Amino acid sequence: MGPDPAVAAVRVAVRRALAGLPADGMVIAACSGGADSLALAAALAFEAPRARPVRPAGGVTIDHGLQEGSAVRADKVVRVLAGLGLDPAGSVAVVVGERGGPENAAREARYAALDETALRLRATAVFLGHTRDDQAETVLLGLARGSGARSLAGMPPSFVRRPSGSEDAGVRYVRPLLDLDRATTRRACRAMGLEPWDDPHNEDPAFARVRVRHEALPALEKALGPGITEALARTGRMLRDDADALDEMAARAYADAAVQGEGGEGGEGGEGGGDGPAAGVVFEVERLAALPRALRTRVLRAAAIRAGSPPGTLAAVHVDEVDRLVTAWRGQRHVDLPGGVRAHRRYGRLLFGPAWAERADSGT
């Protein structure tokens, strides 16, 4: 008799993800202790020793320190990971700042810790437990922000982050469970005798994602019928190819329009802005104006992120205002962007950098 169908589904997803990686190197499961990442960790512990060749597999949990008793909770998760057979299994405590809002700040702290862990262990990849439900929520949040096709494309199945100051090729992240729903991971945990931890933050309506999960999506299901989650996730997949092609063209346009040697070389890093803020980004306005809008706005968004504007809070309205500095300039000096970044036009050039730097330069 085979495993429970939910367990089998999670294992198959992990097996396929492992098959798509280089044969050598450790794979790490990032585990919060919730049902999604716990089912992922258990599947990785099962599949890694059965891979050909056998693959080392570890697990890590991040202690954000945002709740009382978080260190105790992290220790419990580590014991579960070790009990599953993941080695090494450990936790990393982080300090969550305030930049870009609480959700973005926690995310940045988490990814920075995962980057460091993966590089230290020379891991081939870090597996994340995001599901189809998470994908649908991400697409709906992107729609609400009005940030274009890239936001509507949702989360990629895999991506590479290049930590600031690192000479390594970067850290690869993989989401094996994007085609599975949250109910499947819960069933898998029950079948394996694993008790997931439900983060209280996942029920806090102060967070936009929680409101989407418990209010917006149920309302859409009620008004339009079942299948909204699947439809949103499918839309994300369909838009990703288009967004990838446009982003590739935009990267070339970025390099062509950037002023070399003045902070203008390079483009947006992997997910989460892994390249880190640059001192400044400078473009020739004439070259930007000659681009189709679909490419130009991508270039402007990438420049704002490279200059330090958090991707999660940079919305289409911000990019549109910067675009007006290029296409509808009537002498306006600057546009203030999230993260203390300012875009301003001067002498036929468009500059992105810290707002304080431009104020200091003008003597205000």
Would you say 115 is a known binding-site residue? no
Would you say 33 is a known binding-site residue? yes
| Residue that is written with structure tokens 């929680």 in the block | 210
With H, G, I as helix, E, B as strand and everything else as coil, classify residue 71: helix
Helix ranges, the chain (H): 5-19, 35-47, 70-84, 102-120, 132-145, 149-152, 182-191, 208-211, 217-224, 228-257, 285-289, 293-306, 316-327, 355-362
The residue type at 162: R
Would you say 37 is a known binding-site residue? yes
Phi, psi (deg, nearest 5) at residue 165: 85, -5
Would you say 34 is a known binding-site residue? yes
With H, G, I as helix, E, B as strand and everything else as coil, classify residue 284: strand
Q: d(Cα 338, Cα 148) in Å, to the nearest integer?
A: 18
Would you say 309 is a known binding-site residue? no
Q: d(Cα 72, Cα 53) in Å, to the nearest integer?
A: 36
Distance, CA of 275 to chain centre: 14
With H, G, I as helix, E, B as strand and everything else as coil, classify residue 113: helix
Would you say 256 is a known binding-site residue? no
As annotated, the binding site includes 32-37
As annotated, the binding site for ATP includes 32-37
